[in-house]
Chain A
Amino acid sequence: MNESGNNTEYNGGKPEVNIIGAGLAGLSAALTLARMDIPCRLISPMPSERAQSVMAEGGINASLDTMGESDSPDEHFADTMKGGVYLADPNAVWNLCSNAPKTVEMLCSLGAALKMKDGKLVLRNFGGQKKKRTAYAKSSTGKILMTALIDAVRRYEAEGIVKRYSHHRLYSFDIADGNCRGIDVNDLHTGRLIRMNGSVILASGGMNSLFPGLTTGSTVNTGDVTAMAFINGVEIANPEFIQYHPTTFPITGKRCLVSEAARGEGGRLFALRKGEPWYFMEEKYPELGNLMPRDVVSREIELVKVDKDCDGHVYLDMTGLDRLVWSDKLSDLREECIRFLGTDPAIKPVEVSPGIHYFMGGINVDEKHRTNISRLYAAGECACQYHGANRLGGNSMLGAVFGGYTAACTAASEADENNTGIEELSQCRREIMQPVGIPDEAAKLLRDSLGIFRSGETLEAAEERMQELIEGEKNELQKRRMILGRAVLLAAQNRKESRGAHTRTDYPEKDDVNFRRTTIVTYSEKEITVSLRDIPEKRGESG
């Protein structure tokens, strides 16, 4: 069938790829495929301009070494592995870090307006890294990268190589005998149901619907694609690792991020201890101070908040930042604090607390971004890759762009040219509005048991109650979400150690012997199984 669904049209014997999600990872995959002249469909509930990627703030990491600090891919690799507490696939991380300079240069060649001086990219400090490695555009880096990629992909849309399906949502997978043959998608405006053959790349973002009101991300990134994939036999990896960004503040219905760039440019965390400012990060971690990895900073904030000598509040002091830093580097962050918090951070410290910002776990992929189902791939935040037990700031946009590229290359090399075309199936009920989050009680179970500090007892009780709620749930969408939530609980219960973003009060130590392994969660015959899989050995390349 051709794209109107009426007639068979020969596309020259080329394979076709369906990409679910039109943020950084989806656009990067589409651009990569288009440049190889491989037709693809870009499917998303909203246009790219509305994707969560436009919200990304601080920057993108690459050891471009433009600041005269002798940075290198080896050091980027070492920092990423250490930040992730050695749980990431070292070969995938090496691919990421060694290709990071080329990736950022590619984005620059599309006219991405990253900060430059004298013809060179300016890099800033970011958490968990001693050297300046983060390219940026004030604190709107995601928006600036997205604009460049959107314009680049538009050319191929006009040529018909990339077909946009905005306002479309995944309806079902066609997976049989371990092979993905295509998907059915639903037009949210008309209710039209369309069958799309070909390989599938999932680039659908994190699992925000499990934590309504608690995340910094988009309400569109529900995790519904991940939940549906899971139910269809796709493995989930490391879902227990949920990043709490240390500096967020609540606004109605969600949390708002104060970018790590604020601390990269000199912002200082403090609490009032016996009425006096206590710069606890600088005291406890003299080397990196406020720029320790996010898991460490978030834990420290939580501990300080319950310290009997403190008053339960933690502040980010940006009042000492230079006027030029505000105007050249953080003007948008300042505007956001004024607009949403009513505080000018240049004049008064901002009260902050940790909020859910990123899911390190997700769909299990190998270093080529293959899932356990053939011709089904995943990239970006929906995939578990690169970040281990804790993601470093600046690595998510890099992981999304490079992951999308890698997934596209793999999909192109493995695609089936005999499985192509689309077909209009039927009109199904037009369902414009879907619930943003899971039902209240289920949300409370996850919120209370999957915080920064966790205990086996709470996790077990939450998991048992979640199973009861699942059995009583009538809404299929909510049921899938709750099954995914239960998978996260079981994974957290099973990991009896503390590592990165997963801190168990009953197992406070790291246990490399038993747990320096990837959690794998599978779903079959209504049963969820959790196991641990060895991390691949590092091959002989540098890093």
Chain B
Amino acid sequence: MKYILEIWRQKSIDEKGDFRKYLYETDSESATVASALAELNSKAELTDINGEITDKIAWECSCMQKKCGACAMVINGRPCLACDAKLYENKTIRIEPLRKFPIIADLMVNRDIIFDNLSRMKVWSEKELIAVDEKNDIMYEASRCLQCGCCLEVCPNFVSGGRFFGMSAMVPSSRLLTGMNKGDAHDLRKQFGKKITDGCGKSFACRNICPTGIDIEKLMARSDAAVLWSFFLGNRFFE
């Protein structure tokens, strides 16, 4: 099978970028955009569709099986993981970097803001957390976030460096809010209200984007309710 990959090429943030076409051939039915990029880069010389030699393609990957979020990019207009994007679904594939983050080169972006925001929101607990019984399922679900940035890419309210931190901050916060005991969650709850609840326009554009299928609405509703009820009832919601 022959595929045409239209790949965004840009040497650095200071230089202009453009799409360039590459021909990729494979017999594998399980080939993904990630395996195609890896194979193109493994050639001694990488040539585009016109036979012109180009630099190796800058992109990030680690697990190659939907477990780490490194290879998040925009494929045919949709943010997803390259290791989860099967080639057979299309003959021509347009591959570009996530646009909400500063570009490093080609398909590689700087997603530091995701992690900085978690620190700014104080997403941690100073006290013991136990994922007992009824809390266990929610905390498991909220532990699965890859911090890949796909949900932020489609969010109309998230801007890198803005006041709304998005679902990649909501999900890990909900793990802690669920596990915290009475009286321990005050700071995080306050931050949650300011950085998540106040800024989310409830468009739920992120609803079906999460590569791991985290039930964002459920976690959001539970955590929103927690913040709201804690306003009226103090800490009793978490008892």
Chain A residues with CB under 8 Å of chain B are: 46-47, 49-52, 54-55, 108-119, 137-138, 140, 143-144, 147-148, 151-152, 154-155, 157-158, 164, 166-167, 189, 218-220, 251-254, 256, 336, 339-342, 432-433, 435-437
Contacts and interface: CB of A to CB of B under 8 A. Distances in A.
B28 interface: yes
Contacts of A50: 60, 62-63, 68-70
Contacts of B131: 108, 111-114, 116
B41 A151 contact: no
B41 A433 contact: yes
Contacts of A49: 68-69, 146-147
B144 interface: yes
A432 B105 CA distance: 8
Given A189-B104, A252-B35, 18 more contacts: A46-B62, A47-B111, A110-B129, A111-B175, A116-B133, A143-B67, A143-B143, A143-B144, A148-B143, A151-B123, A151-B172, A164-B115, A167-B110, A218-B62, A252-B26, A253-B39, A432-B104, A432-B108
B171 to A, nearest CB: 10
Interface residues of B, number: 61
Q: Which of A50, A108, A143, A157 has the most CB of B within 10 A?
A: A50
Nearest to A151: B124
B128 interface: yes
B176 A151 contact: yes
B90 interface: no
A340 B32 CA distance: 10
Contact of B176 (A111, A251, A253): A111
B39 A117 contact: no
Contact of B140 (A144, A342, A433, A435): A144
Interface string B98-128: 0000001100101110010011001111101
Q: Taking chain B's interface residues, is the majority helix, strand, or loop, or is none over half, making it mixed?
A: loop
Interface in B121-179: 122-126, 128-133, 136-137, 139-140, 143-147, 172, 175-176, 179
Interface of B: 26, 28-32, 34-35, 38-39, 41-42, 56-70, 84, 104-105, 108, 110-112, 115, 118-119, 122-126, 128-133, 136-137, 139-140, 143-147, 172, 175-176, 179
B42 A436 contact: yes
Contacts of A432: 58, 104-105, 108
A155 B126 contact: yes
Contacts of A340: 30, 65
Given A52-B62, A54-B63, A157-B119, A166 B112 contact: yes
A15 B123 CA distance: 28
Contacts of B64: 219, 251, 253-254
24 contacts: A49-B69, A50-B69, A50-B70, A55-B65, A55-B68, A111-B139, A112-B131, A113-B175, A137-B140, A143-B67, A147-B172, A154-B118, A155-B125, A166-B112, A167-B110, A189-B104, A253-B39, A254-B64, A254-B65, A256-B65, A339-B84, A342-B30, A432-B58, A433-B58
Contacts of B145: 147
Nearest to B12: A430
The 8 closest A-B pairs by CB, nearest first: A111-B129, A252-B35, A155-B124, A113-B140, A113-B139, A147-B143, A113-B131, A111-B179
Nearest to A56: B67
Contacts of B172: 147, 151
Contacts of B110: 167, 189
B58 A55 contact: no
B108 A111 contact: no
B198 to A, nearest CB: 22
Nearest to A433: B56
Contacts of A148: 143
A158 B84 contact: no
A46 B60 CA distance: 9
Contact of A154 (B34, B104, B123): B123
A340 B123 CA distance: 34
Nearest to B119: A158
Contacts of B144: 140, 143-144, 147
B61 A219 contact: yes
A116 B146 contact: no
A492 to B, nearest CB: 26
Contact of A220 (B56, B62, B179): B62
A340 B64 CA distance: 11
Nearest to B213: A335
B22 to A, nearest CB: 15
B53 to A, nearest CB: 15
A433 B106 CA distance: 11
A148 B142 CA distance: 11
A111 B30 contact: no
Contact of B130 (A109, A137, A219): A109
A338 to B, nearest CB: 12
A51 B125 CA distance: 23
A55 B63 contact: yes
A436 B57 CA distance: 13
A115 to B, nearest CB: 7
A339 B105 contact: no
B118 A253 contact: no
Contacts of B29: 342
Contacts of A111: 125, 129-131, 139, 175-176, 179
A154 B124 contact: yes
A435 B42 CA distance: 7
B124 A46 contact: no
A81 B123 CA distance: 40
Contacts of A155: 122, 124-126
Nearest to A250: B30
Contacts of A253: 34-35, 38-39, 64
Contacts of A339: 66, 84
A115 B110 CA distance: 35
A256 B120 CA distance: 36
Contacts of B179: 111
Contact of A151 (B38, B61, B175): B175
